Amino acid sequence: METLSQTSSLPLLEAKFTELLGKDRVLTSPSERLVYECDGFTLEKNIPDLVVLPETTEEVVAIVKLCNEYQVPFLPRGAGTSLAGGCFPFDGGVMIVLTRMKKIIELQVRDRYAVVQPGVINSALTRALQGTGYHYAPDPSSQIACTIGGNVATNSGGPHTLKYGVTVNHILGLEIVLHDGSILELGGPTGEQFGPDLISVFVGSEGTFGICTKVWVRLTPDPEARKTVLAVFDDMDNATEAISEIIGQGIIPAAMEMMDQGITQAVEEAFHFGFPTDAKAVVIIEIDGLQAGLQEQQDAILKICQDFGAREVRHAQTEAERLQIWQARKKAFGAIGRLSSSFCTQDGVVPRTKLPEMLRQVAAVSEKYGLRIVNVFHAGDGNIHPILLFDERDEEQVRQVLEASDEILETCLDLGGTVTGEHGIGIEKLSFMPRMFTETDLAVMKNVKEVFNPSQLLSPKKKLPSEDIKELKRLKPGRHAPH
Amino acid sequence: MQTLTPETPSDLVELIHKSATSQTKLRIGTHQPIQQSEVEQSRLVNISKLNQLVEHSTRDLTIIVEAGMTFQKFYEKLAQQNQWLPVNVPAPETTTIGSLIAANYAGPLQLKHGTVRDYLLGIKAIDGNGNYFKAGGKVVKNVAGYDLSRLLIGSQGTLAAITEATFHVKPLPPRKSWIVIACQTWSIAESLIEFCLNASWQPSAIELLTGKTWLEKSYLPTTDKQKTTCYLAICLTGAASEIDFILEELNPWETHSEVNSQSQIDEQYLETIETELIEFASPKPEAWIFQCHIRPKQIVYFTEVCKKYFPTGSFQAHAGNGILNIQLSEECSIDSFKTSFKKIEQELSKYYQSKINFRLLQAPHSIPMAEIRSGFQYPQAAIMHKMNRLLKERFDPNFILQTNNPIYEATAAYLNETATKA
Amino acid sequence: MSVKESLNVEAPQLSAPTSTEKKSCSQSAVSFDTKVNYDRFLDCIHCGLCTATCPTYVELGNENDGPRGRIHLMRAVTDERVELSPQIRQHLDLCLDCRACETACPSGVKYGEIIEPFRSALAEKDRNDGKKLDLFHRLILFKLFPSAKLTRLSLIPARIAQSIKLDQWFLNSPLKKLLPKKILALTEMLPPLGANLPSLPTHLPAKGKQRAKVALFTGCVADAVFRSTHWATARVLQENGCEVVVPKNQTCCGAIHVHSGQEDQARPYLEANLTAFEDPSIDAIIVNVAGCGAMLKEYHHHFKETTDQKRLKTFMSKVKDVHEFLDELGVIPPKGRIEATATYHDACHLRHAQQIAAAPRNLLNQIPGLKLIPLPESELCCGAAGTYNLTQPEMANRLGVRKIENVKRTDAELLLAANAGCLLQLHKVAKQQHLNSWIGHPIDLLDLSYQQKQPKL
């Protein structure tokens, strides 16, 4: 396909956009479009030909119609925090940036829903709900910056997924501008749909099915009380077994996060939270719910941890202590900078009971390649984030990091898991799709894609592998952000 | 017509392949059509032999089963391991897992526990071309590929025949109770609902019940049936200590002057009440059933108005979710519904701006399908019909799967309309 | 360009103070890579977590106006991937220097250490290109403001005008149009000036048992406009058993120059302050203006190789924000009840540059009767940002209005902020937005409580 910059329609399109949005909301100069060349995934870069910043659904419709008229590719972008290149503009084209669509349209606490524009920041919604007794449950680690629209596109998770589910479990309705500029409304305040669950298939479609311009989200009542336990283990296997046992015994904590020795040491060195640096694993377990039942649960958890040889089990005595424990977890990634200037975070999932085996495999890979790998992850979900440390100036090591990453992800697949739990396919993991799915599976997915996106002008070449990127070779590992 | 019973998924693949070539219409599985007479035009496929437990990783809280397994059996398998899937289906002894997904049964428990969408992790299915495909997986977080598993939820079997499903399940709560409160007035019902929704505890269900059907139930309190305007049935699940705490919180209401009685449903009726609550909205040969979705805070008033215009009807509202099911006797004519619906809408219009959709779930067997077709339109925007139609064309280009279906009745209506306009 | 070679290259020299008149070859290539430590760029992993904390990004939603975008631009300019276009300059100029991004950054990127040297390189480039600073920068910002004495003198007409309400008449009359825009902005920003207080004595004794000996930093604009807060600070310190000295020869901290990329002009101020506060018997140097405090605590970033490092270190180790100091010392609770609702705005240079959030709130919570209501978006810049409200009035006003809207949502009777710039801005926008809250410094309120007085609502 001819790219937009090669066609003569660019100045025409530019003029039409300017007429529609005004000068300030159309970025045309190369120096202003530059920053949109990549998102949180920086390995591949491509500058979009035009960047537009609509504020209303009508403007999005008009933009999409113009793109169709001039037959140029276009794609949506939120805050650009994707770690997999979700906002990467393959063929350049028009980037529709939704960050100015940030109105919270309705907050209906009694009816337990809110209506927001896609550019609303995840934590802004939570802040707006403070004091109402309700919150928006999905809390990806990037929640201070990422948008609800982006969460919808990637079906984001977060530490509290374990009990509260991922984004798709909290979406009641969507207003979507389709590939041709028509508006499709799905669900609404009560989530009522008629026929196939189109909301669910749209959530996680990474911008290839349309641009959502309005979202009805479910609000979740705040728990009456919370308890946070910190368990210290001298053995990784014991720690993961204990995690499995807790759930096996019928306790569903709100979150269960694990940090290995490498991470604990870095965190300790950086922030001095008082974590034992000689322990092999630290597990953070948070339970929430009705005060009346909580103590029982906490006692059960303490007992399980002790039965599995926990060296020490502490629980937060005050809210300040609780926050401090979470701060340690959330700041873990920042501390990695102290271990190595370059690092690559992987995102794989295995069934929870396979965690001990998975972590042994990660250790084996680490030994095989002589690479340092540390772990901090959502243990309750079986969602691992092994972090491979390396020196990006050492080409040999870079190659090894790539191979080691692939080996780890292959192991996830072998153990019945997946190669991405929450970061998405984007462009990073396109090459893994044929390894996870058969040709038939992909053909059926392609059928659905063609229903929503027949011209392929919208987010071209994303989510499903296409001919010209089957050969896409990753040259460098990602330097990834916290998750 | 002869019923086919495939023994393996490959048998079913072959069967669909053949039917696609010969353009034979199939009706697969157990879930009920809107009008029984329609079934006769299709070849029936019974998937009850595809009923194996594939994998139950009890400690991972995941289970993989074949789609022909009945819900009853599924429930028992889970219960053996002290687990459950907190959804309800009508006739659990015959309803299959495939139907559970295809029909998206959502009963009283959805208030706290959600719907099938919240538990389905993966599927294997065969589309109308005979493509045997899988989607999703068996881990709780997975964003690889499009979520075709959930796409099939509510698809009524029109896109693909499900052969296998993977669910995320929950530990069985140590205790479950149903409390029934007989309310003298609508306003006390409203206050009680408000109280439950704002409490620190989360009720698993709040059902607002009124009308003839409910008055006949022996498990509901018998005192003062005449004086009772409606019942509230509240479900509680959790640890014993939690339930005790909640019961204590509810206690003071018992003495309220507008509360006739408040009682816990006897252990022996627990299953009965839950099944009846889900079956209320499922097919009966002699009844009309409609469903409306409305903002939850308006549900009591809405129910009151509906009852005024259909005094002989029976009503059940999932009060926390804003869903009202209306059961009417077969004597009612289509014309009289339409008049009453219009009046209800008018009366509500000062509080409720948007149009209310009275969606037909079931018509009495005595009413001819043609009459139903001309009498009701399906509440959807044209664009939605278009999307459904396009999906259907991709998944089932020969239109052999569950074709006599409200989804495509609506599509057909839309297509006629656009054809006329053109 | 040899980006690789410039890796790890620290700024080797600070250009010698050049006269602004000096002309060199018109298209000078200032190498940005020698100014900015390239490693600081590499610290950024491009995750974008900073974006939503950036006031200009929050307002405009443009990646170019967020921290990640600005770092991307500066790096691209340094790498010579892109020309330093007027647009890029505008995006960089729009940065408030509030450093909220540093608080948000999980990787510990020191944004201030990237943009400040970069600005300094820009300024150097301008000088080399023969561009003159405008009159406003040269006269008002760099000459008048840093002198407390001159500022006070220049305010005399305003003080008189305010007392007879002439200023209101003027601001409402067509004559308003006659003033240059920036001067007008200055006029509108003046807070109620109150009585013309005498300057602080050089020495004030501790009350009760002496717990510490401290020196008070009085600064420039603050001493002219907020002298009453200096008096209040001294009294509160005395109440807390501190002997207070006020060194005579102290001067402006130099932040105005540094933030405009004119580090060389700031150096004399630094030297003067190092001398003024040299007394080894001083336990702490107390600052009540967040902007000055941040600058004093970061002198070493700006004057790495140009002054006696040991002396600098000793100085910096003593610099304490007044809230920080009192909270650490353990404040003696005041007795006077103030039955009111109050809300606290986090000054950027306290919250982000100095990472002080709890201390002021802890102190306010000691006032009997006072109810502190959390302010939505309390950590978002109010638009003052030093001299930003004078150089970028439009964005400054947008942020100011946003802040006041948030204050209105709290219904608080008292609005507190611990920075002179913020207080000026809040006064101005509150007037414009018809907000009648009492606006002051937390220490003012604490002082009233010690004195058993009430704020005049």
Does residue B112 register a pLDDT over 80? yes
Partners of residue B287 on adjacent β-strands: B329
Residue C9: per-residue pLDDT: 31
Domain of residue C294, CATH code: 3.40.50
Residue carrying the six token digits 């009440």? B273
Tell whether A319 and A344 lie within a shared domain: no
Closest of A46, A66, A45, A62 to residue A54, by C-alpha: A62
Partners of residue A186 on adjacent β-strands: A174
Residue A481: per-residue pLDDT: 42
User: How confident is the model over A131-139, as a mean pLDDT?
Assistant: 93
The helix (H) or strand (E) run that includes residue A322 is: helix A319-330
Does residue A46 register a pLDDT over 80? yes
Task: For residue C53, give every residue at least 6 positions away whose Cβ sits within 8 Å of its Cβ, in sequence order, or none.
Answer: A144, A145, C100, C101, C103, C104, C379, C380
Nearest to B143 among A198, A420, A441 (CB): A420
* Local structure of B178: helix, strand or coil: strand
Contact A173, A142 (CB under 8 A): no
Distance CA A299, CA A163 (A): 19
Residue C21: per-residue pLDDT: 31
Distance CA C408, CA C222 (A): 26
Q: In this structure, is residue A483 part of a structural domain?
A: no
Domain count, chain B: 3
Tell whether A16 and A58 lie within a shared domain: yes
User: How confident is the model over B284-307, as a mean pLDDT?
Assistant: 91
Contact A94, A63 (CB under 8 A): yes
Chain A residues whose beta carbon lies within 8 Å of the beta carbon of residue C63: 35-36, 80, 97, 99
CB contact under 8 A, C106 and A481: yes
Nearest to B201 among A194, A290, A429 (CB): A290
Tell whether A160 and A204 lie within a shared domain: yes
Q: CA of A140: which chain C residue's CA is closest?
A: C49
Residue C421: per-residue pLDDT: 86
Burial per residue of C322-359, b for 16 or more beta-carbon CB atoms within 10 angstroms, e otherwise? bbbbbbebebbebebebebebbbbbbbbbbbbbebbeb
Residue B34: per-residue pLDDT: 57
Does residue C306 register a pLDDT over 90? no
Contact C409, C374 (CB under 8 A): no
Confidence of residue B33 (pLDDT cuts 50, 70, 90): low
Residue carrying the six token digits 């807070």? C191
Residue B406: per-residue pLDDT: 67
More confident residue, C391 or A218: A218
The chains in contact with chain A, meaning 3 or more Cβ pairs closer than 8 Å, are: B, C
Query: Can you give the three-state secondary structure of B117-153, one letter per residue?
Result: HHCEEEEEEEECCCCEEEEECCCCCCCCCCCHHHHCC
Q: CA of C49: which chain A residue's CA is closest?
A: A145
CB contact under 8 A, A142 and C64: no
Burial per residue of A212-222, b for 16 or more beta-carbon CB atoms within 10 angstroms, e otherwise? bbbbbbbbbbb
Tell whether C103 and C157 lie within a shared domain: no
Closest of B170, B114, B169, B116 to residue B147, by C-alpha: B116
More confident residue, B42 or C57: C57
CB contact under 8 A, A142 and C50: no
- Interval A382-419: pLDDT, tens: 999 999 988 877 888 888 988 999 999 999 999 999 99
Residue C381: per-residue pLDDT: 94
Domain count, chain A: 4
User: How confident is the model over A78-92, as a mean pLDDT?
Assistant: 92
Domain boundary among A97, A117, A138: A97
- Minimal CA separation from B32 to chain A, in Å: 15
Chain A residues whose beta carbon lies within 8 Å of the beta carbon of residue C52: 79, 121, 123-124, 144-145
Domain range spanning residue C65?
A: 38-129
Nearest to B138 among A133, A178, A416 (CB): A416
Question: C interface mutation test: which of A32, A98, A102 has the most C CBs within 10 A?
Answer: A32
Domain range spanning residue A385?
A: 340-475
Confidence of residue C52 (pLDDT cuts 50, 70, 90): very high
Domain boundary among A290, A310, A336: A336
Tell whether C166 and C215 lie within a shared domain: no
CB atoms within 10 A of CB C132: 11
- Interval B192-228: pLDDT, tens: 999 999 998 989 999 999 998 898 888 888 766 778 9
CB contact under 8 A, A155 and B143: yes
CB contact under 8 A, B139 and A436: no
Residue C26: per-residue pLDDT: 31
Q: In this structure, is residue B392 part of a structural domain?
A: no
Is chain C adjacent to chain A, meaning 3+ CB pairs within 8 angstroms? yes
Residue C18: per-residue pLDDT: 34
Contact A91, A460 (CB under 8 A): yes
Q: Tokens at residue C298, please?
A: 């970061």
CB contact under 8 A, C72 and A34: yes
Distances (CA, A) of A385 to A229, A332, A478, B32, C318: 21, 12, 13, 45, 43
- Interval B251-263: pLDDT, tens: 999 999 999 888 9
- Interval C196-228: pLDDT, tens: 788 889 999 999 999 999 999 998 777 777 888
Does residue A187 register a pLDDT over 80? yes
The chains in contact with chain C, meaning 3 or more Cβ pairs closer than 8 Å, are: A
Domain of residue C58, CATH code: 1.10.1060.10
Mean pLDDT of chain B: 88
User: How confident is the model over A339-360, as a mean pLDDT?
Assistant: 88
User: How confident is the model over B281-306, as a mean pLDDT?
Assistant: 89
Q: Tokens at residue B242, please?
A: 């939690």
The Cβ-side half-sphere exposure at A39, using a 13 Å CA radius, reads: 24
Domain boundary among A200, A221, A242: A221
Domain of residue A139, CATH code: 3.30.465.10
Tell whether A204 and A267 lie within a shared domain: no
E strand map for C161-308: 203-204, 212-217, 242-245, 284-287
Domain range spanning residue B294?
A: 287-375
- Interval C162-176: pLDDT, tens: 555 655 555 566 656
More confident residue, A468 or A373: A373
Residue B38: per-residue pLDDT: 58
Tell whether C222 and C274 lie within a shared domain: yes
Residue A468: per-residue pLDDT: 58
Does residue A176 register a pLDDT over 70? yes
Tell whether A208 and A288 lie within a shared domain: no
Q: In this structure, is residue C18 part of a structural domain?
A: no
Mean pLDDT of chain A: 90
Q: Lowest mean pLDDT: which of B130-139, C13-22, C302-311, C331-340?
A: C13-22
Contact A64, A183 (CB under 8 A): no
Domain of residue A251, CATH code: 3.30.70.2190
Q: In this structure, is residue B397 part of a structural domain?
A: no
Mean pLDDT of chain C: 82
CB contact under 8 A, A334 and C81: no
Domain count, chain C: 4
- Side-by-side strand order, sheet with B160-168: B53-57, B62-66, B160-168, B120-127, B132-136
**Considering the entire predicted model, what is its pTM?**
0.90
CB contact under 8 A, C106 and A40: no
Domain of residue C388, CATH code: 3.40.50.1860
Q: In this structure, is residue C384 part of a structural domain?
A: yes
- Interval C434-443: pLDDT, tens: 999 999 999 9
Domain of residue B307, CATH code: 3.30.70
Q: Which of residues 61-90 of B touch A (CB under 8 A)?
A: 61-62, 82
Tell whether B179 and B128 lie within a shared domain: no
- Minimal CA separation from B215 to chain A, in Å: 29
Q: In this structure, is residue A480 part of a structural domain?
A: no
* B43-45 and B26-28 strand pairing: parallel
Q: In this structure, is residue C27 part of a structural domain?
A: no
Tell whether C215 and C290 lie within a shared domain: yes
Q: In this structure, is residue A481 part of a structural domain?
A: no
What percentage of chain A exceeds 90 in pLDDT?
Answer: 69
Tell whether A351 and A424 lie within a shared domain: yes
Burial per residue of B382-410, b for 16 or more beta-carbon CB atoms within 10 angstroms, e otherwise? eebbbbbbbbbebbbebebbbbbbbbbbb
Distances (CA, A) of B58 to A247, B61, B176: 10, 5, 21
Residue C244: per-residue pLDDT: 96
Q: In this structure, is residue B66 part of a structural domain?
A: yes
Tell whether A89 and A163 lie within a shared domain: no
Tell whether C216 and C295 lie within a shared domain: yes
Q: In this structure, is residue A482 part of a structural domain?
A: no
Angle at B211 between CA B206 and CA B217, to 5 degrees: 75
Residue C333: per-residue pLDDT: 95
Does residue A339 register a pLDDT over 80? no
Residue carrying the six token digits 């500058």? A47
User: How confident is the model over C59-66, as a mean pLDDT?
Assistant: 96
- Interval A419-437: pLDDT, tens: 998 889 988 888 899 999 9
Nearest to C61 among A40, A99, A124 (CB): A99
